Amino acid sequence: MDPVDIGLWGVPLAILAGAIRVSTPFLFVSLGECLTERSGRINLGLEGTLIFGAMSGYAIAYETGSPFLGVAAAALAGVVFGLFHGWVCKFKGVNDIAIGIALMLLGTGLAFFFGKPYIQPVAPKLPSISLGGWSDVPQVQAALQVNVLFLFGAVLAVFLWWMFRATRVGLVIRVVGDSSDAARAMGLNADRVRLLSTAAGGAFAGIAGAYLSLYYPGSWNEGVSSGQGLMAVALVIFARWNPINCFWAALLFGGAGALGPALQSVGVSEGYYLFFAAPYVLTLGLLIATSSPERAMQGAPAELSITK
């Protein structure tokens, strides 16, 4: 496949390719954070979970030769981090935001500690599906290489949306997230619901990490995450706590992140670094535009500490 000169068409194509490739970790980590926040708790520690997931996923994939076992191990590690976060937050006077920051530090530290021997070895990669076979242009074919986890994430987004809307589990999570008092009146154990929601959210963040180390960029090193886990918190606000919107927001963030490199590839290098700030500026702008000192944000779970 020789590259064909497609001129400026390369820019939107590169953004699309970037959106599909880069968005998957954003998607998983934001779905996880969305689930946790819907139950009324915030987990800032997903960055640590994501990095630990990237390391453990890579290590297990290397040791067993199966990338899917790696993804499973990463999800399991995420569950452990989520359970720990949920357990600690149960105590009176413990701040969930601060615990998140602490677990981010701890998760990152543990990942770097145990990940040292896995920087050199090469683990098997996750497979992808070519959806661009209809095109003769190699760039289009490359852009439409879709990883299985991306598709799984899209299905998961729809599933979560349906779960919140139409199932008893979804209702329980929503009630707990909107009012601890109402939950108590219904005989629900709010702490247990939050514990399980945080654990499931951690599992998704772990999978997001495994995608980073097992597909794109596809290796384990200490710089594999560039804040995707932290961005999840902003992304969920951006998506108004709606899983379907999480999917679109993740695509948007992925595409915005690809803008700089795409423009550079056609010779526009002015402001290369500024484009990295694009998703953050976007989120901050949206936060400013939609926040109000008088009322909570639309769509936000009422028990959430950051929107009160």
CB 9 to other proteins: min, Å: 27
Binding site for other proteins (CB under 8 A): 44, 88, 91-95, 97-99, 101-103, 105-113, 116, 227, 230, 233-234, 237, 271-274, 276-277, 280-281, 283-284, 287-288, 291-294, 306-307
φ and ψ at residue 127, rounded to 5 degrees: -75, 160
Residue 146 sits at φ, ψ, to 5 deg, of -110, 125
Question: What is d(CA 166, CA 162) in angstroms, rounded to the nearest whole number?
Answer: 6
Minimum CB distance to other proteins smaller for 53 or for 67: 53
Shorter beta-carbon distance to other proteins: residue 150 or 241? 241
Q: How far is the CB of 54 from other proteins (least distance, A)?
A: 14
- Provide the minimum distance between the beta carbon of 74 and other proteins in the complex, in angstroms, as a whole number: 18
CA dist., res. 77 & res. 151, Å (int): 22
Taken as a whole, the chain contains a residue count of 308
Q: Which is nearer to other proteins, 103 or 203 (CB)?
A: 103
Strand ranges inside 97-225, DSSP E: 128-130, 145-147
Judged by CB, which is closer to other proteins: 112, or 248?
A: 112
Exposure string for 95-114, b = 16+ CB within 10 A, e = fewer: ebbebbebbbeebbebbeee
Contact 101, 44 (CB under 8 A): yes
Q: Which is nearer to other proteins, 11 or 110 (CB)?
A: 110
Minimum distance of other proteins from residue 43's CB (angstroms)? 13
The torsion defined by the Cα of 168, 169, 173 and 175, in degrees rounded to 10, comes to 20
Return the structure tokens found at 302. 């009422």
Would you state the structure tokens that stand for residue 16, as one six-digit string? 């699309």
Nearer to other proteins, 116 or 192 (CB): 116
* Cβ proximity to other proteins, 131 vs 286, nearer residue: 286
Which residue number, 126 or 304, has a Cβ lying nearer to other proteins?
304
Backbone angles phi, psi at 223, to 5 degrees: -105, 20
Closest separation in Å from C-beta 45 to other proteins? 10
Neighbours of 232 (CB within 10 A): 35
* Residues 115, 209 contacting (CB under 8 angstroms): no
Cα separation, 214 vs 206, in Å, equals 12
Alpha-carbon distance 118 to 56, whole Å? 10
Q: How far is the CB of 93 from other proteins (least distance, A)?
A: 5
Report the nearest approach of other proteins to the CB of residue 281 (Å): 6
CB of 29 to other proteins, least distance (A): 15
Query: Other C-beta atoms within 10 Å of 215: how many?
Result: 22
